């Protein structure tokens, strides 16, 4: 029988916040609220061990930092589940720099609109973030981005407005910034503050919005002072239910997660809902190309195939050898040679994220570049290789914690061997 208790969890810089809810007869009550400090010399896993000594280890919803995920607006042809899925699948195939196969994602319609929203994150980022929980044998049931929690708080607040607004929330050593209008988010950011000054980041965001023709009417803040801003506070009713004292600005995001958990109409995108890459069978040519890419990457790094194969378990070694045995010529094309040439042509400024191919001789290559000119140099180098022809499928600008980068996909044609 499923438990009627729900755990809401936020891990921030230096502390862990948790709420224990109980659902009974469609009513949800707060049983307890706890905040545990991560003292010097005490890891997160140790803190979690203490927390889950009296909290249940199931039905856990965990907040996920905005800076570790990607949001994309969806514009399906009509407001139907099938049309939304088609739009999301297209964005997953062509719009993510870390590749669909390495992705956890969810999507949904925005209330009263035909447009939708997609949220995605790489499985690597999710694993890194949830690793301290896994060490105490705890796995969240849902993973919710902080952007959605903050926006839900704003929508339920007494100061909510449909006019263009900027929301700023500081929690520990990280911050969330959202720009919204008429119940729709049109910009969101998340970042670790560290050496950054929050006011500088807010000013830069406002300047960028102004350049794009967006005029912000009001700034709302929580957990930090913003000039000419309006404080976004927790409601007294929630503070009383949770047994919290004072304004409780530090609990704002967890309150947002509470709303997402309890409100039926809220758009709660769960990154554990869909795991791309688990469905369907990976094509044999995709497997071959990946295996070749790993081998040639190791060669470039100075490691030999023999050393690499020796380090693998016997079963893995035999399986890889089996794949590589037919790699030299498949479908009338020299795949190994082609992959080798592609790897050798990659400029230092480009990072490859995914390579896949088919039996028609077409390779899809996804990656990120510091600037568009680096992609042009890469394409030019590939087109000078005998047996290859390449073209740009798409290139999108992407803001990251380290600055602006360009994510791209190339379509490379591997010509058949003359018989």
Q: Tell me the pLDDT tens digit for each residue of 217-242.
A: 999 998 888 888 899 988 888 888 88
Q: Which residues contact 15 (CB under 8 A, 6 or more apart)?
A: 35, 36, 37, 38, 172
Q: Can you give the pLDDT at residue 403?
A: 67
236 touches 209 (CB < 8 A): no
Superfamily for the 284-414 domain? General secretion pathway protein M, EpsM (3.30.1360.100)
Q: Can you give the pLDDT at residue 345?
A: 85
- Give the total residue count for the chain: 419
The token duo for 72 is: 């994309």
Residue 1 clears pLDDT 50, i.e. is over it: no
Q: Can you give the pLDDT at residue 400?
A: 61
Stronger pLDDT, 370 or 163, i.e. the higher one: 163
Instruction: Give percent above pLDDT 70 in the chain.
Output: 80
Q: Can you give the pLDDT at residue 349?
A: 83
Instruction: Give percent above pLDDT 90 in the chain.
Output: 35
User: Of 95-104, 124-133, 244-253, which one has max mean pLDDT?
Assistant: 124-133
252 touches 170 (CB < 8 A): no
Residue 89 clears pLDDT 80, i.e. is over it: yes
Residue 389 clears pLDDT 70, i.e. is over it: yes
Over the stretch 156-191, which tens digit does the pLDDT of each residue have? 998 999 999 999 999 888 899 999 999 899 999 998
How far apart, in Å, are the Cα atoms of 340 and each of 332, 336, 361?
17, 6, 15
Residues of the chain with CATH 3.30.420.380: 5-275
Distance, CA of 16 to CA of 294 (rounded, Å): 39
Average pLDDT, the chain: 81
Least confident of 151-155, 206-210, 365-369: 365-369
Residue 415 clears pLDDT 80, i.e. is over it: no
Stronger pLDDT, 284 or 368, i.e. the higher one: 368
Distance, CA of 396 to CA of 417 (rounded, Å): 34
What Rg, from alpha-carbon coordinates, does the chain have? 24
How far apart, in Å, are the Cα atoms of 168 and each of 109, 181, 211, 289, 337?
24, 15, 20, 45, 52
Q: What are phi and psi of 175, to 5 degrees?
A: -140, 155
Q: Can you give the pLDDT at residue 212?
A: 86
Over the stretch 106-153, which tens digit does the pLDDT of each residue have? 999 998 899 999 999 999 899 999 899 989 999 899 999 999 999 999
Residues of the chain with CATH 3.30.1360.100: 284-414
Where does the pLDDT of residue 24 fall: very low under 50, low under 70, confident under 90, or very high at 90 and above? confident
417 touches 329 (CB < 8 A): yes
Q: Can you give the pLDDT at residue 333?
A: 58
Where does the pLDDT of residue 417 fall: very low under 50, low under 70, confident under 90, or very high at 90 and above? low
Q: At what angle do helices 146-156 and 252-262 cross, to 10 degrees?
A: 80
Over the stretch 322-345, which tens digit does the pLDDT of each residue have? 444 444 555 555 666 777 788 888
Distance, CA of 249 to CA of 251 (rounded, Å): 5
Q: Can you give the pLDDT at residue 2?
A: 56
Q: What are phi and psi of 86, to 5 degrees?
A: -60, -45
Task: Label the pairing between strands 174-181 and 184-192.
Answer: antiparallel
Over the stretch 253-306, which tens digit does the pLDDT of each residue have? 999 999 999 888 888 999 988 875 444 333 434 444 454 554 444 444 433 333
Over the stretch 390-408, which tens digit does the pLDDT of each residue have? 898 888 877 665 567 888 8
Distance, CA of 126 to CA of 64 (rounded, Å): 8
Where does the pLDDT of residue 246 fall: very low under 50, low under 70, confident under 90, or very high at 90 and above? low
Name the architecture of domain 5-275: 2-Layer Sandwich (3.30)
Average pLDDT over residues 70-91: 92
The token duo for 132 is: 């301290």
Distance, CA of 393 to CA of 90 (rounded, Å): 13
């Amino acid at each position: 029988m499923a438990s009627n208790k729900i755990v809401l969890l936020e891990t921030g810089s230096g502390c862990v916040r948790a709420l224990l809810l109980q659902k009974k007869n469609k009513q949800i009550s707060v049983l307890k609220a706890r905040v545990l400090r991560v003292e010097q010399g005490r890891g997160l896993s140790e803190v979690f061990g203490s927390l889950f000594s009296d909290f249940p280890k199931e039905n856990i919803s965990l907040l996920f930092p905005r800076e570790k995920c990607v949001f994309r607006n969806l514009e399906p042809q009509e407001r139907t589940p099938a049309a939304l899925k088609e739009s999301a699948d297209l964005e997953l195939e062509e719009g993510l720099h870390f590749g669909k196969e390495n992705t956890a994602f969810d999507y949904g319609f925005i209330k009263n609109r035909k447009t939708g929203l997609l949220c995605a994150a790489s499985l690597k980022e999710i694993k890194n973030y949830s690793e301290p929980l896994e060490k105490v044998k705890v796995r969240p049931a849902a993973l919710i981005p902080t952007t959605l929690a903050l926006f839900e708080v704003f929508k339920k607040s007494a100061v909510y407005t449909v006019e263009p607004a900027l929301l700023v929330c500081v929690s520990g050593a990280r911050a969330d910034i959202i720009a919204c209008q008429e119940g729709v988010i049109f910009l969101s950011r998340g970042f670790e503050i560290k050496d950054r000054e929050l006011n500088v980041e807010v000013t830069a965001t406002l300047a960028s919005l102004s350049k794009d023709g967006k005029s912000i009417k009001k700034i709302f803040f929580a957990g930090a002072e913003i000039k000419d801003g309006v404080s976004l506070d927790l409601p007294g009713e929630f503070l009383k239910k949770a047994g919290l004292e004072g304004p409780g600005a530090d609990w704002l995001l967890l309150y947002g997660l509470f709303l997402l958990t309890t409100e039926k109409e809220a758009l709660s995108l769960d990154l554990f809902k869909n795991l791309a890459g688990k469905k369907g069978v990976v094509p044999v040519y995709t497997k071959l190309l990946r295996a070749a890419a790993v081998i040639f990457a190791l060669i470039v790094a100075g490691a030999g195939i023999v050393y690499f194969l020796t380090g693998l378990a016997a079963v893995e070694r035999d399986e890889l050898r089996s794949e590589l045995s037919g790699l030299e010529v498949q479908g009338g094309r020299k795949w190994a040679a082609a992959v080798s040439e592609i790897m050798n042509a990659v400029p230092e400024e480009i990072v490859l994220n995914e390579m896949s191919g088919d039996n028609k001789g077409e390779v899809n290559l996804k990656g990120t570049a510091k600037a568009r000119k680096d992609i042009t140099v890469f394409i030019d180098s590939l087109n000078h290789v005998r047996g290859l022809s390449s073209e740009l499928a798409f290139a999108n600008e992407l803001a990251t914690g380290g600055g602006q980068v360009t994510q791209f996909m190339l379509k490379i044609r591997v010509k058949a061997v003359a018989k």
